Amino acid sequence: MSKNIEDAPIIIRGRWRQLSLLGGAMLVDSTEASLASALFPVIRQALGLSLGALGVLTAAGKIVGAFSGPLWVWAARRWSRRAVLAVSIGLWGVWGIAAGFSQNFAQLLIFFTILAAGYAAAHPIVTEIIGDLFDQASRGRAVGLLYGVLALVASVLGPIKGQLANVDDGWRWGLWGIGAFNMLLGAAIWLWFRDPGRGATEPRLAGLDARTREGELTWSRALSLLRIPSFLILLGSRLLSGHLLLGVFAVVFLVDVYGYTTAVASVVLLPYGVGYFLGNFAGGFMADWAVRRSPRHGLVAVLQGAQFGFAAAAFIGTQFDLGSIALFSVFFALMGGMQGVNPGINRPMVMAITPPELRGSAFTVYINIFEAIAWAVFSLGAGFLGDVIGLQVVFLWVLVILMLANGAFLSLLYRTYTPDAERVQQELQARREQAVQDA
């Protein structure tokens, strides 16, 4: 293995500017989902819904994303990642506007589901592109910064969205605003985004033509993802990621369990988002530090510790009446911080154990399918069980006990992650040697 090839980083010009455009695509996805959860108490009253309706609304969007996400990734492979993002984020905003005119739950569910079908393109395609914009040494910081800034913006918008509860049909205005913003963002992506191409930052593929760098994607190659031990463990961890529930039910939890108004309860979204931002930001640097301290086990230890830390903060922050929204905000900030560490660790881990041509497929499976399954199960279960046994008991099992189990489950990565990452580098080196030989 050539040392100079391995060590020479490839810097994509304008990569941070491109990342900011991609961040906008991710923002509209999270904003649409959080608007529904933040204003659900008002939507519930306006349309005469039960608590279970929030679970149905959230789960439907995630389930349809499990089907539409792979189709968008296939379209991006067949045509252009830029075009797919411009359509799925930009033109799709019309469905957000339509959702604002809903007169009953059936109409709201239909439009929200169609909207989610388009937004499902953002996460796998954007995350794949990040792997092509940033080299392995800077991916953790890039992912952490992206998710952190998104969380910070969402946290600022959270209380603002909550105040829409004090405006007649405020939730409708929120949906109309999101739809219009989507369309503007789609135009910006089409005009200014420049795709670096798959494998652009892999040193072992430097200097090779785009076709060689991108490799061949076949069904057998895509299915080979399921033969990567570390990837299977990370998929299993997604199904145990109970913290996904918090962003959906945080406001309604404080309203139903501790009696706060929607406007007051939505205040916790700001410290939660700030905590998430700091966790994302710190997670990227912690990843680099952990690799230096322990190349074989550092990343796994940080990821595992984040699960245990979240469970501890969730136990105190949800199972006891802390007496004021200020104290609740402290523990929601801690939960956000622990949750925020995850993307800066697990996304680069997926990139490290998969070759460039499989990363889009990997993130489709990881985010659109397995995370969607987790979202659907947690949202539906919490919605219906919350009506029966109460959200506090649901939070104990999902945010505390399940997260402890998740942390323990991740111990399996200590044996598999390093060999899987090394196997990818060996494959890329072999591809380079074959291309040189053919030339």
The three-state DSSP-derived secondary structure of the chain is CCHHHHHCCCCCCCHHHHHHHHHHHHHHHHHHHHHHHHCHHHHHHHHCCCCHHHHHHHHHHHHHHHHHHHHHHHHHHHCCHHHHHHHHHHHCHHHHHHHCCCCCHHHHHHHHHHHHHHHCCHHHHHHHHHHHHCCCCCHHHHHHHHHHHHHHHHHHHHHHHHHHHHCCCHHHHHHHHHHHHHHHHHHHHHHHCCCCCCCCCCHHHCCCCHHHHHCCCCHHHHHHHHHCHHHHHHHHHHHCCCCHHHHHHHHHHHHHHHCCCHHHHHHHHHHHHHHHHHHHHHHHHHHHHHHHHCCCCHHHHHHHHHHHHHHHHHHHHHHCCCCCHHHHHHHHHHHHHHHHHHHHHHHHHHHHCCCHHHHHHHHHHHHHHHHHHHHHHHHHHHHHHHHHHCHHHHHHHHHHHHHHHHHHHHHHHHHHHHHHHHHHHHHHHHHHHHHHHHC
pLDDT of res. 51: 66
30 within domain boundaries: yes
In this prediction, residues 290-306 reach a mean pLDDT of 84
7 within domain boundaries: no
pLDDT of res. 38: 61
pLDDT at residue 367 tops 50: yes
The model's confidence at residue 1, banded by pLDDT at 50, 70 and 90, is: very low
21 within domain boundaries: yes
pLDDT at residue 23 tops 50: yes
330 within domain boundaries: yes
pLDDT at residue 2 tops 50: no
User: pLDDT above 70 covers what percent of the chain?
Assistant: 86
pLDDT of res. 333: 93
Q: Which of 21-25, 36-40, 104-108, 252-256 has the lowest mean pLDDT?
A: 36-40
pLDDT at residue 217 tops 70: no
pLDDT of res. 39: 63
129 within domain boundaries: yes
The model's confidence at residue 436, banded by pLDDT at 50, 70 and 90, is: low
In 10 A of CB 438, how many CB atoms? 7
Q: Tokens 């800066």 appear where?
A: 344
pLDDT of res. 376: 73
The model's confidence at residue 5, banded by pLDDT at 50, 70 and 90, is: very low
Q: Which of 1-5, 100-104, 331-335 has the lowest mean pLDDT?
A: 1-5
3 within domain boundaries: no
Question: Are residues 279 and 338 in contact, defined by beta-carbon separation less than 8 angstroms?
Answer: yes
Cα separations (Å) of 295 from 144, 292, 298, 301, 391?
Answer: 19, 6, 6, 11, 41
pLDDT of res. 34: 57
User: pLDDT above 90 covers what percent of the chain?
Assistant: 18
pLDDT of res. 4: 44
Between 272 and 376, the more confident residue is 272
pLDDT of res. 152: 72
Mean residue pLDDT of the chain comes to 81
pLDDT of res. 36: 62
Q: Ranked by mean pLDDT, which of 12-16, 35-39, 126-130, 330-334 comes out on top?
A: 330-334
Q: Give the domain range for residue 158.
A: 14-200+217-438
In this prediction, residues 103-123 reach a mean pLDDT of 83
Q: Write down the pTM of the prediction.
A: 0.73
Rounded to whole angstroms, the Cα distance separating 288 from 298 reads 9
Q: Ranked by mean pLDDT, which of 39-43, 99-103, 152-156, 288-292 comes out on top?
A: 99-103
In this prediction, residues 125-146 reach a mean pLDDT of 81
209 within domain boundaries: no
In this structure, what CATH number is given to the domain that contains residue 318? 1.20.1250.20
pLDDT at residue 150 tops 80: no
Tokens of residue 102, six digits: 């809903």
The model's confidence at residue 223, banded by pLDDT at 50, 70 and 90, is: confident
Query: In this predicted model, what pLDDT tens digit does every residue of 243-254 receive, in sequence order?
Result: 888 877 888 889
Q: Which of 208-217, 222-231, 398-407 has the lowest mean pLDDT?
A: 208-217
pLDDT of res. 37: 62
Q: Which of 17-21, 54-58, 74-78, 252-256 has the lowest mean pLDDT?
A: 54-58
Distant-in-sequence contacts of 74-81, Cβ < 8 A, 24+ apart: 76/121, 76/125, 76/360, 77/217, 77/360, 80/195, 81/125, 81/128, 81/129, 81/195
Q: Half-sphere exposure of residue 228, counting CA atoms within 13 Å on the CB side?
A: 29
In this prediction, residues 81-100 reach a mean pLDDT of 85
208 within domain boundaries: no
The closest alpha carbon to 192, from 26, 14, 31, belongs to 14
Rounded to whole angstroms, the Cα distance separating 5 from 270 reads 45
Q: Structurally, how many domains does the chain consist of? A: 1
